[in-house]
Amino acid sequence: MNLFKYQIDWILANVTTSRIKYVAHLGDVVDHGDDGNSQEWINAKNQLYRLKDAKIPFGVAVGNHDQTPYGNPMSPGTNSGYGVYFGKNVMKTSATPWYKDAYGSSNNSDNHYDFFEYGAHKFMVLYLEYNNPSEALYNANYEAKVFHWADSIIQKFPDRKVIIVSHSILKAPTNNTANITTPGTSTQQGYSSFTSQGSKIYHNFKKHKNVIIMLCGHISGEGAIEEMIYKFNNGQDSTVIKSFLSDYQSRPNGGNGYMRLMRFNLTKNTLSVKTFAPRPGANILEEDADSKFTVKLFE
């Protein structure tokens, strides 16, 4: 738990100097879902609520390990854990103005969206629950309803750049296995392909020209994919969705406390990624090619 604490400590200490506007958790905030495991949820909320208390906008994706049974996207799969500590009645308050709303009319917050602003740009962070077609408990009807809701939300706010966060979007890269076997030694960016859920998400939401980034975890490794998508305005305009996988669960200590800082430079139109593990004293840096890099922000 010290590693989780160090991460939150670093964010709180650097929120001003690093201009931190938003914090995203990519899912699997616990290991055993709702399965009589309240202590894991209490541990998680004790750390993440420190962001809430400091009024730092944040959101948590629902991973398969946050569900009971694993891979079940339907209620009551998250009612006794995620719903208790990150449900709508906790997150949609006057103290959390970044949190806007969620799919459905109950306390369920498994699929929700947040707002933040940076410079002249407005952003939406849209969270989609783990619902993978490769799982026995995949629910296509639920997926269709959630996608319809999410489409309507994106269309409602065309002035906002959209970042989609879902636990499973990208597979581990096949061209670069160094980030798993010998992390920190990669000489090239790892290029991924979509998981079955990631493919569904990409092909549904690529029609929205304001969707620019997708973030995920679930599978060990660091990978990325950039897709030129959909032609708008009779083929005269297009955009690119950039997707990033960052998952360190195979490292020592369940990830060794690695996290990422994504810097938006609006003047240079760049997105720079820094990977590090906060520690008291000097942080542990990972600066190989798939851990520290810069790409265009808007295309």
pLDDT tens sequence across 246-285: 999 999 999 999 999 999 999 999 999 999 999 999 999 9
Residue 232 banded pLDDT, cuts 50, 70, 90: low
pLDDT at 197: 98
> Residue 146 corresponds to which amino acid?
V
Cα dihedral angle (61, 63, 66, 70), rounded to 10 degrees? Answer: 160
C-alpha span between 180 and 222 (Å, rounded): 8
Cβ atoms of residues 48 and 8 within 8 Å: yes
Cβ atoms of residues 12 and 46 within 8 Å: no
Beta bridge partners of 232: 237
Q: Over range 209-238, report the average pLDDT.
A: 81
Share of the chain above pLDDT 90, in %: 81
Taking alpha carbons only, the member of 126, 166, 130 closest to residue 150 is: 126
User: Could you give the angle at which helices 140-156 and 196-205 cross, rounded to 10 degrees?
Assistant: 40
> Residue 230 corresponds to which amino acid?
Y
C-alpha span between 192 and 186 (Å, rounded): 14
Residue 76 has pLDDT above 90, yes or no: no
C-alpha span between 168 and 143 (Å, rounded): 14
Cβ atoms of residues 206 and 229 within 8 Å: yes
Residue 176 has pLDDT above 80, yes or no: no
Start-to-end Cα distance in the chain: 39
Cβ atoms of residues 105 and 94 within 8 Å: no
Q: Over range 65-89, report the average pLDDT.
A: 91
Tokens of 197: 């859920």
Residue 231 has pLDDT above 70, yes or no: no
136 exposed, middle or buried (CB, 10 Å; 0-12, 13-18, 19+)? exposed
pLDDT at 280: 95
Residue 186 banded pLDDT, cuts 50, 70, 90: confident
Residue 236 has pLDDT above 90, yes or no: no
> Residue 229 corresponds to which amino acid?
I
The secondary structure element, H or E, covering residue 10 is helix 2-14
C-alpha span between 161 and 163 (Å, rounded): 7
Longest dimension (CA), the chain: 55
pLDDT at 185: 85
C-alpha span between 110 and 87 (Å, rounded): 8
For residue 171, the 8-state DSSP code is P
Taking alpha carbons only, the member of 79, 76, 85 closest to residue 58 is: 85
* Number of neighbours of residue 2 by Cβ within 10 angstroms: 11
Residue 106 banded pLDDT, cuts 50, 70, 90: confident
C-alpha span between 284 and 253 (Å, rounded): 14
